[in-house]
Amino acid sequence: MNDFEKLNVSASILDALNKENILVPTPIQEEAIPLLKEGYDVIGQAQTGTGKTFAYAIPLIERVDPSKKYPLALVLTPTRELGIQVSNEIDKLIGKNGDIKSACIYGGESYEKQRIALQKKPQIIIGTPGRIIDQMERGHLDFSKISYLVLDEADEMLKMGFQEDLEKILSSMPKERQTALFSATIPPFIKNVVKNYMNNPKWVKIEAKTLTVEAIDQQLYYCKKDSKKDLLIRLLDYNQFHQIMIFCNTKSMVDELVIFLQTSGFRAEGLHGDLKQISRDKVMQSFRNNTIDILIATDVAARGIDIDGIDAVINFDVPNENELYVHRIGRTARAGSSGTAITIATIRSKARISELERYTKSKMNLHEIPTPKEISKSYQKKLYLKIMDVMENNIDNHEYDNLLMKLARANSDPMPLLTALVSMVDENKKREYPEIYVQSPKENKKDNNKNKKDKNKKKDSNKTFSIIECNIGKNDGARPNQLVVFFHDEFKVHREHFGKIIIEDKKSYIEVHSEALRFFKNTKDKKFNGKKLSIKVVDSLPR
């Protein structure tokens, strides 16, 4: 039995939920759906991952009259990622009901493509405020007959500066409509929206105790700032997670970490606001299809990403806001499963960590940094389980019988053969782990007294980089990690000698340690994807 039947949802919605194997409503769905079905305005205060999309989408779809061929419902989201996610969820609920149509309108996609989608006369519009207004001004959208409005993640929408856009959109709608507002927090400016644009709303608040924090193993590691990347490598090798999200506070750190992990042998990609929409879609598709294992993102870029099966979240940078921490770690431990959230911090962040623990009413467990020996032991244990699993599931696979018989005849002692086979699948490739420097509180005080000296050192280190320009760009298929690997293979320049990389359509600019410039003198016969390479030193990176 599907427990959604108790909420009196329609047969077609029940059918769609059954196909998605969604049988039990979440707390926000249990409370919000009946109120919305009765026609009340609703304010839902709930975090990411609590099922709020279905909480408003189910009543929305049930209210749509398929015979009407104009917009009846609008869902506004702060980001295109969330808009796309909501659109996909709504399409799942619509199912095969061809009379109900939806369109997703967001920045970064062709106006013409969206115009064609709107010409099909969808009853449900999902979109971001800026592009919605653009289409209104072009005469492609008319909200004069809207009867159902949703503001999803309203706090983020207003925090990102969409207040004027919202007022313009809302003023184009009839006042006699139903409005649902969902937000993780209810700051003062949200209360103004409630006062001016909602009609005696019912409040639905999911308390912190219903959040998924309890199902998450929150781990904490301390190290000096310069050791964070090396610690990250150890943690990835030690745990061998299947799918991971890593959060950074800045776009530049996302780019830096992507290059670092890719050149360290990990399948990682980054997501931040500077990426074009087609690139963002490609990265997300790769993550969903398990083509990559690690997604590195800023908090803003990660809005709307709702993927089950993420078994770990890593805070490479401690988040600046309490709500962001909950948003981040809430992306694991979905659908009743357990998950892991790892935070990498410096001693200077200790007060911030305590604040996060008070906010979540939970404790981050302080862990010792895994040693190379412990990493090897953990890896061997997981490799053993993987081999046993393959043996159990491939017992009838005789494809390699001839090869195995040949190997068995050539080796009377099985140990050298097994050693060779295990070495071939050794993912660690005998990685060397640099020493991790763990900062103690006493050391922190000493460091504070050396700030001036540290700043001078930083200035000196910045002077050790030069800029090279090469004739390889995006049109030649160049990506940062490919260039780093190419230069390593062709010129024997180690990845640590590279800094910032900027790739344009026809050329690239790379920060290179000045001492490594001598390796680039001879470019004769060097080719990248068949194109002859040329390199020259320039004064600065492009702006």
Answer for the pair 29, 167: CB distance below 8 angstroms, yes or no. Answer: no
Extract the tokens encoding 304: 């709307």
pLDDT at 80: 83
CA distance 350 to 346: 7
- Among 519, 523, 517, residue whose Cα is nearest residue 535: 523
Query: What pLDDT, in 10s, does the model give residues 482-523?
Result: 788 788 778 877 666 788 889 998 999 998 877 678 778 778
Mean pLDDT of the chain: 85
Q: In sequence order, what are the beta bridge partners of 220? A: 343, 366
Answer for the pair 371, 337: CB distance below 8 angstroms, yes or no. Answer: no
pLDDT at 439: 56
- Among 17, 85, 101, 100, residue whose Cα is nearest residue 53: 85
Stretch 392-399: mean pLDDT: 70
3-state SS of 276-328 is: CHHHHHHHHHHHHCCCCCEEEECCCCCCCCCCCCCCEEEECCCCCCHHHHHHH
CA distance 89 to 129: 20
Number of other CB atoms surrounding residue 172 within 10 Å: 15
Q: Are strands 531-532 and 527-528 parallel, antiparallel or unpaired?
A: antiparallel
pLDDT at 519: 78
**Three-state secondary-structure class, residue 166:** helix
Please enumerate, as own/partner, the contacts of 136-143 that have beta carbons within 8 Å and a separation of 24 or more.
Answer: 136/169, 136/172, 138/111, 140/114, 140/115, 141/71, 141/105, 142/70, 142/71, 143/71, 143/74, 143/169, 143/172, 143/173
- Among 522, 523, 503, 516, residue whose Cα is nearest residue 465: 516
446 or 525, greater pLDDT: 525
CA distance 150 to 75: 5
- Among 45, 40, 41, 36, residue whose Cα is nearest residue 7: 36
Range in 200-214, 269-283, 303-317 with the lowest mean pLDDT = 200-214
Q: Is residue 122 very low, low, confident or very high in pLDDT (cuts 50, 70, 90)?
A: very high
pLDDT at 463: 41
Q: Is residue 358 very low, low, confident or very high in pLDDT (cuts 50, 70, 90)?
A: confident
CA distance 490 to 488: 6
Domains of the chain: 3-209 (3.40.50.300), 212-372 (3.40.50.300), 457-538 (3.30.70.330)
Per residue in 251-283, is it b (16+ CB within 10 Å) or e — as a string? Answer: bebbbbbbbbbbbbebebbbbbeebeeeebbeb
Does the structure show a pLDDT above 70 at 464?
Answer: no
Strand order in the sheet with 178-183: 102-105, 124-127, 73-76, 148-152, 178-183, 42-45, 202-205
Q: Is residue 430 very low, low, confident or very high in pLDDT (cuts 50, 70, 90)?
A: low
Task: State if pTM tops 0.85.
Answer: no
392 or 327, greater pLDDT: 327
pLDDT at 210: 40
Does the structure show a pLDDT above 50 at 159?
Answer: yes
pLDDT at 7: 95
Number of other CB atoms surrounding residue 137 within 10 Å: 10
Exposed (0-12), middle (13-18) or buried (19+): which is 490, by Cβ within 10 Å?
middle
Residue 345 dihedral angles phi and psi, to the nearest 5°: -135, 160
CA distance 195 to 215: 36
